[in-house]
Structure 1
Amino acid sequence: EDINLILQELPQRLKRGNYSFEYRFRHEDGTYRWLLDEGKLIRDEMGEPIEVVGYFVDISDRKQAEFALSRSRELKEAIFNESTDALFLVDPETGLTFDCNQSAVNLFEAASENELINIEGHTLQKSRFTPAELANINQAINQYGVWSKEVEYITKKGKHFWGNLAVKRIHIADRAINLVRVTDITARKQTEKDIKLQAVITRNMAEGICLVSVTDGRIVYANPKFEQMFGYEIGELNNQPVRIINHADNEVEADQVRQLITQKILENGEYTYQVYNVKKDGTPFWCQATTSRFDHPDYGTVLVAVQQDITVQKQTQDQLKASLKEKEVLLKEIHHRVKNNLQIVSSLLQMQSRRTKDQDVALVLQDSQNRIASIALVHEKLYRSENLAQIDFAQYVPDLITHLFDSYNISSSQVRISYQVEDIPLAIDTAIPCGLILNELVSNTLKYAFPEHHNGEIEIKFKRNLDNNSLTLLVRDNGVGIPKSFDIETTTSLGLTLVLGLVDQIDGTLDLNCDSGTEFTITFSNKLRTR
């Protein structure tokens, strides 16, 4: 491979009078070695070339050393520049850096390597070393050859980060050099900070926390609040089966409680429940718990339970439930007694009506009786309802109309009734006025709309409007109707005057249409109140 180089270069170099080549030659043993060939052209008195005087030197060892050095430098460059850590070469005597890699430039956000050369490394720290600290560091390096510490740094752009600073004394060509490595540990420091914070929170939070191994059902950790809640000393619950804290009775065993809870958590990942527990001294108490599944690096799959003693809350709830039940019973009794009293008054009016010979008086007593019946029916519905604060008007309307037909002895074959009543709950202070309005309008229709036993039809609608905040009650008949000259505002009719007052009471509006039969439309706000 070297012959062509020599043949091409030799004539040119001889013209200059001397030459020097390094090339390989084959030894008689078949191996190849390196040769230094240097010579000089000799000329005669006329200047003509006559001979070449030179020498050969076997430089194989030197070339081998050069190759080794070259490979060493390439390896050093590869390690130095390919390292993800910031590397510096520092003079032990002056403490100044004389070389760094690209990772150092990137980590410290420098413009170039030159910005980090010929500086003391600790000038990049948030808090610089004091002269005494530097002396101690140098002493440790001289004695042990290595030294390290976690240090907070500030980059050239003012960004703070944590680094692990490590120094190692190395020797290159009999020269002592400090190899300095800075590893970015900001993420690790933040993780450690978070872990410490979580540990502080776990130890001091008001709820009890425990970790239970899914494999064997043993408690692997319990915070102080949990142990205090169950009456145990610090650390006493560790490695204990969790069933010792679950209450058992004649119907269920403690281990069954644990298995049921574990099954729910493994199925859903998390489970919130109330559990009956038992303290170390045997005292049972209630806990509100939320337990989730978690893969722990040391204990495998564990259940993390957060529990809070709710014994007082449970007792309070039980007392409230008992009190509420008593109030519901009392309120039902009140509605029942009001209904009975109203029925007594209605019966008295009925008796009086039968004894009077004046037909007009009898009709007045009958109207009063029906009004009282409409109110009593509201209390009857509330008495039988599960919700004592409201009634379903869709159930109320048919019962009221049936009572009116019976009261006026009207057959359903004579006057047909049609309903379009939506299931809308009404509070008692709205239901009673609406019942009285419906009573007056239907009573008037039955008395006056179909004279001489004429057949007819009454239509009742009750619906929620599109705005969802108002309701409409409509009563329409196809009877003889009301004269168009009729003014409801100036009427002397007791029933219609009562209707006007009741519409005003529920903040509603009333429209009267006399074009074909009679149509009353009442629109009012839904003031339903839940309790």
Structure 2
Amino acid sequence: MLTDGEDELSSLAESINGMLSRIETSQDQLKKSELEFRSLVELANNSIILTDSKGKIILWNKSAQRMFRYSENEILGKPISILFPDEYHESYQKVMDNPYNSANSQNMGIICDSYGFKKDKSRIMVEISHISWKIKKEKFYCAIIRDTTDSKQAENEIKESLREKEALLMEIHHRVKNNMQIISSLLSLQSRYIKDKDAFEVFKESQNRVKSMAMIHERLYNSKGLAKIDFAGYIKNLVDDLFDSYGVNHDDVKIDISADKIFLNADTAIPVGLIINELVTNSLKYAFPAENSDHEENRIYIKFHRNNKNILLVVGDTGIGLPEDVDLQHSETLGLRLIRSLVDQINGTVELRGNGQTEFRIIFTQIEQNSPVNN
């Protein structure tokens, strides 16, 4: 039979044994957690570097060794500053001054681009994701580093290739525009020797068609992307040029343009520009005969708007209208045949509305570059 003293001693021994067992279990769990952590660090593809509050390296994984060529024995205890240029240290200090915590979560994983120095002082481009935290009064810093030398070099090569192609494309647009202007000038010079009025009109119309295409290439040459133009601005310039070509005063025939800011590529802009050229030319030549002196009612209007996934182009006038027997789909006149052909090129539909005036409504979608079109 145990005495009271022996009973207390037995209870104390059991408590001590229990405490020792829990300590041993905690240590085993700590060792297991440390092993898991080190395994993750060592198996990581990116370099992982850990420093103390003084910037001395206290952890260095195998990927860091392969990247910077320092062994663990050579680098531990050395300042992290030997690996990076001076400008990196500003970012490092900012991270150290703002350690991560639950109330400061925006400082988690700050990323910066820099370059690093290998053991032989050669340079590599790197992307650094870094963070700091505080345990009691001690600050720690961790950097996860990815070598971006190859990707940066590939990126620079792509940028250089794009610059060369942009320069080539600019030169192409410039030369096409110049060649078309030469053709237009030749047509203009040749037309001076033509006595027949009908033949003269044919030359003038051909000249305006060439100029409408030249204006596309001029705008492409001056555009930022070289591939698309702001078509609303092009419409205004084209119409002004046609008014000048036919000597029409804006006081005699009003022009109303309502156009959304829509960018068209060359494959779409050229046929659409030619369509507007044909329709406005037709209005200027035939819609307002000299005997129609009511200038207040003389008006040409153009609408250019998005219509769901399509684009709506409306060109009309308040003139005398087309003859009643005109059949848009079967007419053999050059102008209407050309309009039908151009509408087919942009996979569009065209509708002619009368009611004493003339209005063409064309719905189309933008042609994707290099996509086939109807012939």
After TM superposition, the score normalised by the length of structure 2 is: 0.84
Distance in 2 (alpha carbons) for counterparts of 1:352 and 1:194: 91
Distance in 2 (alpha carbons) for counterparts of 1:191 and 1:492: 92
**Contact 2:95–2:131, Cα closer than 8 Å, also in 1:** no
Pairing 1:315-464 to 2, within 5 Å after superposition: 315-452=153-290, 454=293, 455=295, 456-464=298-306
Match of 2:350 in 1: 510
Match of 1:219 in 2: 57
* Shift, 1:315, TM fit: 2.0
Paired letter, 1:515: N
- Unaligned runs of 5+ residues in structure 2 are 99-103, 371-375
Residues 221-270 of structure 1 show CA distances to partners (whole Å, capped at 9, x for unaligned) of 221211321121123222222211113xxxxxx2x421234326838413
Question: Which of the residues 99, 121, 138 maps onto 1:282?
Answer: 121
Question: Which of the residues 133, 136, 140 maps onto 1:294?
Answer: 133
- Give the match's secondary structure for 1:474: strand
- Higher relative contact order (Cα pairs below 8 Å, separated by 6+ residues): 2
CA RMSD of aligned residues (A): 3.3
* Shift, 1:296, TM fit: 5.2
Paired letter, 2:271: P
**Contact 1:378–1:431, Cα closer than 8 Å, also in 2:** yes
* Shift, 1:417, TM fit: 1.0
Q: From the CA coordinates, give the structure whose radius of gyration is larger.
A: 1
- Give the match's secondary structure for 1:203: helix
Residue 260 (1) aligns with residue 78 (2)? no
Residue 488 (1) aligns with residue 328 (2)? yes
Residues 485-508 of structure 1 show CA distances to partners (whole Å, capped at 9, x for unaligned) of 321011122111111111111111
Distance in 2 (alpha carbons) for counterparts of 1:492 and 1:190: 92
- Give the match's secondary structure for 2:176: helix
Paired letter, 2:358: T
Match of 1:137 in 2: none
**Contact 2:51–2:59, Cα closer than 8 Å, also in 1:** yes
Paired letter, 2:94: Q
* Shift, 1:429, TM fit: 0.6
Distance in 1 (alpha carbons) for counterparts of 2:64 and 2:55: 17
**Contact 1:242–1:258, Cα closer than 8 Å, also in 2:** no
Pairing 1:196-211 to 2, within 5 Å after superposition: 196-211=35-50
Aligned-pair identity (%):
37
Match of 2:337 in 1: 497
Match of 1:97 in 2: none
**Contact 2:317–2:359, Cα closer than 8 Å, also in 1:** yes
Residues 18-68 of structure 1 show CA distances to partners (whole Å, capped at 9, x for unaligned) of xxxxxxxxxxxxxxxxxxxxxxxxxxxxxxxxxxxxxxxxxxxxxxx9xx9
Match of 2:79 in 1: 241
Pairing 1:134-173 to 2, within 5 Å after superposition: none
Question: Which of the residues 46, 51, 66 maps onto 1:228?
Answer: 66
Distance in 1 (alpha carbons) for counterparts of 2:30 and 2:258: 67
The answer to which of 309-318 and 498-507 deviates more is: 309-318
Q: Which has the higher strand share?
A: 1
* Shift, 1:362, TM fit: 0.8
Match of 2:101 in 1: none
Paired letter, 2:305: K
Count matched residues.
354
- Give the match's secondary structure for 1:274: strand
**Contact 2:95–2:130, Cα closer than 8 Å, also in 1:** no
Distance in 2 (alpha carbons) for counterparts of 1:302 and 1:523: 65
Structure 1 residues 204 and 409, CA gap change in structure 2 (3 angstroms): same
Residues 393-425 of structure 1 show CA distances to partners (whole Å, capped at 9, x for unaligned) of 122111111111111111111111111111111
Distance in 2 (alpha carbons) for counterparts of 1:219 and 1:411: 81
Residue 470 (1) aligns with residue 310 (2)? yes
Structure 1 residues 475 and 241, CA gap change in structure 2 (3 angstroms): same
- Give the match's secondary structure for 1:419: strand
Distance in 2 (alpha carbons) for counterparts of 1:519 and 1:188: 89
After TM superposition, the score normalised by the length of structure 1 is: 0.61
**Contact 1:222–1:235, Cα closer than 8 Å, also in 2:** no
Distance in 2 (alpha carbons) for counterparts of 1:191 and 1:409: 92
Distance in 1 (alpha carbons) for counterparts of 2:365 and 2:29: 59
Distance in 2 (alpha carbons) for counterparts of 1:447 and 1:377: 22
Paired letter, 2:339: V
- Give the match's secondary structure for 1:388: coil
Distance in 1 (alpha carbons) for counterparts of 2:75 and 2:30: 28
Structure 1 residues 207 and 365, CA gap change in structure 2 (3 angstroms): same
* Shift, 1:471, TM fit: 0.8
Distance in 1 (alpha carbons) for counterparts of 2:278 and 2:178: 22
- Unaligned runs of 5+ residues in structure 1 are 1-64, 84-144, 149-163, 167-181, 248-253
